[in-house]
C-alpha cells in the first residue's frame, strides 16, 4: 500500500512554512496540518541560513486555533472549512508542498550517518533500546519534531513515532515496565521536572496542578531518557485506518460523565473512547464516543474507568442523512480551550 500522509509527518511549503500533519485522514486535495515553524529573523531555530520561530509555544487545541487566525490574515491559502462539520481548520494544498518529511526515513538517515550531534545520537540510542526490548523493527519507528527538520538545538526534546497498532502496544508495555525498574536510563518526570510540566499544563488547560499530576500518572508516552525529555507518538499505518464519510452537526457544549467500554484507539490521534452509561441520561441517549484532538487526553482512561468530559456534542449522520450516533468532541474551536477529559473514581 502506498505510504500516505501520516500523523506527525511534516510538510514544507513554497512559502517556507513548516506544518505538522494531524491524523491520517485528509481531504482529497490537501493535508490537515497545523503551522509549527515560520521564518523569523530573530528565530531560535536555524536551517539552511534561515531562522525560524515556533508558531506558538504550547500546542493546545486553543493555541492551534490561534495559528489558524494568523494564517487567515497572512496566508489564507492554508485555511479551509470542513463541509462535513462546518469547522474551520488549517491544511496544506498538495500543490504548495515542496518537501514531505517522513519520520521513519529521517531515523534511517541518522542510523546510516557518519556524523551526528549529541541529541541525534540520543534519539538513535532511545529508538534502538525500545526496538531491542520489544522486537519492533527500527523501520517501524521514526523521529519527528525539530530533529526531523534538522532545526533542533542541544536542548530540544526527542520525539519518536511508533507505526502500527501492535507495535505501539509493545512499546507502551515495555515503557511501563522500564519505568518500574531501577538502574534504567528511562524514567518518569519527578521532582522539579514534574512540577514544571504540571504547572505548564494547568496554565493552558482547564486543569489544576493536582489534576495535571493525576493525569500524568496515567500518561505513559512522556518521560526522560539520559536527562533528555522524550515523547512517543503511536501512529496507525494505512491498512489500519478506516475512512468513513460522515457529516457532523453541532449541538453545543456539554459536560457529562461516562463509563469507558473500549480505549484501544485512544493512543492515536484523534483519541477515541467508546463509552456507555452517559450521565445525565436525559438528552444524551446514543452518545457512544468521546473523540479528542487534544493530545494531552490520549490514552489516559481504560475499560470501566469513569470519565468526566466537557466538549462539543455532535450528531453523526451518514451520507443518506440517517443519524448514526452522537459523540462528544474535545478540542473544538467552539470550546475555546475550556473542554477536557478527567478520569474519576469508580462510581
Q: What is the pLDDT of residues 138-193, one digit of tens each?
A: 999 999 999 999 999 989 999 999 999 999 999 999 999 999 998 899 999 999 99
pLDDT for residue 287: 95
pLDDT for residue 176: 96
In this structure, which topology does domain 103-235 adopt according to CATH? Beta Polymerase; domain 2 (3.30.460)
Between CA 234 and CA 8 the distance in angstroms is 9
pLDDT for residue 131: 98
In this structure, which topology does domain 245-344 adopt according to CATH? OB fold (Dihydrolipoamide Acetyltransferase, E2P) (2.40.50)
What's the 3-state SS for the chain?
CCCCCCCCCEEEECCCCEEEECCCCCCCCEEEEEEEEEECCCCCEEECCEEEEECCCCCCHHHHHHHHHHHHHHCHHHEEEECCCCEEEEEEEHHHEEEEECHHHHHHHHHCCCCCCHHHHHHHHHHHHHHHHHCCCHHHEEEEHHHHHCCCCCCCCEEEEEECHHHHHHHHHHHHHHHCCCCCCEECCCHHHHHHHHHHHHHHCCCCHHHHHHHHHCCCCEEEECCEEEEEEEECCHHHCCCCCCEEEEEEEEEEEEEEEEEEECCCCCEEEEEEEEECCCCCCCEEEEEECCHHHCCCCCCCCEEEEEEEEEEEECCCCCEEEEEEEECCHHHCCCCEEEEECCC
pLDDT for residue 333: 86
pLDDT for residue 223: 97
The boundaries of every CATH 2.40.50 domain in the chain are 245-344
The boundaries of every CATH 3.30.460 domain in the chain are 103-235
Give pTM, 2 decimals.
0.92
pLDDT for residue 118: 95
pLDDT for residue 86: 66
pLDDT for residue 346: 57
pLDDT tens digits, 6-18:
999 999 999 999 9
Q: Which segments of the chain have a pLDDT < 50?
A: none
Amino acid at each position: 500500500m502506498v505510504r500516505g500522509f501520516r500523523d506527525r509527518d511534516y510538510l514544507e511549503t513554497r512559502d517556507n512554512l513548516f506544518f505538522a500533519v494531524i491524523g491520517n485522514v485528509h481531504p482529497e486535495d490537501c493535508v490537515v496540518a497545523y503551522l509549527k515553524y515560520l521564518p523569523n529573523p530573530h528565530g531560535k531555530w536555524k536551517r539552511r541560513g534561515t531562522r525560524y520561530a515556533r508558531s506558538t509555544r504550547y500546542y493546545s487545541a486553543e493555541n492551534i486555533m490561534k495559528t489558524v487566525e494568523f494564517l487567515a490574515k497572512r496566508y489564507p491559502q492554508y485555511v479551509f472549512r470542513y463541509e462535513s462539520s462546518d469547522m474551520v481548520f488549517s491544511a496544506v494544498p498538495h500543490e504548495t508542498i515542496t518537501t514531505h518529511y517522513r519520520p521513519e526515513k529521517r531515523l534511517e538517515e541518522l542510523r546510516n550517518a557518519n556524523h551526528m550531534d549529541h541529541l541525534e545520537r540520543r534519539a538513535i540510542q532511545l529508538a534502538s533500546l525500545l526496538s531491542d526490548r520489544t522486537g519492533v523493527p527500527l523501520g517501524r519507528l521514526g523521529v519527528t519534531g525539530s530533529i526531523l527538520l534538522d532545526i533542533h538545538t542541544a536542548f530540544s526534546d526527542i520525539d519518536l513515532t511508533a507505526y502500527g497498532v501492535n507495535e505501539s502496544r509493545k512499546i507502551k508495555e515495555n515503557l511501563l515496565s522500564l519505568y518500574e525498574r531501577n538502574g534504567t536510563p528511562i524514567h518518569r518526570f519527578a521532582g522539579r521536572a514534574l512540577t514544571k510540566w504540571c504547572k505548564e499544563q494547568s496554565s493552558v488547560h482547564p486543569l489544576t496542578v493536582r489534576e495535571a499530576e493525576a493525569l500524568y500518572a496515567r500518561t505513559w508516552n512522556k518521560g526522560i531518557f539520559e536527562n533528555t525529555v522524550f515523547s512517543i507518538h503511536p501512529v496507525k499505518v494505512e491498512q489500519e485506518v478506516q475512512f468513513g464519510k460522515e457529516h457532523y452537526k453541532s449541538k453545543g457544549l456539554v459536560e457529562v460523565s461516562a463509563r469507558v467500554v473500549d480505549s484501544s484507539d485512544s493512543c492515536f490521534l484523534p483519541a477515541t473512547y467508546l463509552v456507555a452509561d452517559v450521565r445525565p441520561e436525559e438528552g444524551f441517549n446514543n452518545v457512544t464516543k468521546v473523540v479528542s484532538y487534544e493530545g494531552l487526553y490520549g490514552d489516559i482512561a481504560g475499560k470501566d474507568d469513569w470519565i468526566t468530559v466537557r466538549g462539543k456534542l455532535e450528531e453523526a449522520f451518514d451520507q443518506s442523512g440517517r443519524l448514526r450516533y452522537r459523540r462528544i468532541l474535545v478540542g473544538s474551536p467552539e470550546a475555546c480551550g475550556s473542554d477536557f477529559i478527567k478520569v474519576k473514581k469508580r462510581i
